Amino acid sequence: MGSSQRRAIQNYRTRLTEKGLVRFEVICREPDRELIRSLAKRLTEDTPDAARLRSAVSKSMAGDGSTRGGILAALRRSPLVGAGLDLSRAHEAGRDTDV
């Protein structure tokens, strides 16, 4: 890559930084490519529509907001709840060994 190309890329990235934008790589499935690109492009705009979209995506990704008790909730949703499984273990003294 020539020095003029390198300088052009550096200038472009400087302009992006001045606008408060950053470049990063995203890995996604091929069918989602245009969706991700259009979403990213829309979010770079400083409009009320972009703010609403950002809020909707954030709420969608946040879920219900519960961070505690997730494992317990998953166990309670299990189809084995109330199946009467005996999970107790027999207690044994162990074995004799010569040390």
pLDDT in tens, the chain (99 residues): 889 999 999 999 999 999 999 998 999 999 999 999 999 999 999 899 999 999 998 888 876 655 677 788 888 888 888 888 888 888 888 888 888
- Nearest of 1, 6, 40, 7 to residue 24 by alpha carbon: 40
pLDDT of residue 46: 85
CA gap 20, 26 in Å, rounded: 19
pLDDT of residue 34: 95
| pTM higher than 0.85 | no
pLDDT of residue 65: 58
Q: 58-82: b or e for each residue (b if 16 or more CB lie within 10 Å)?
A: eeeeeeeeeeeeeeeeeeeeeeeee
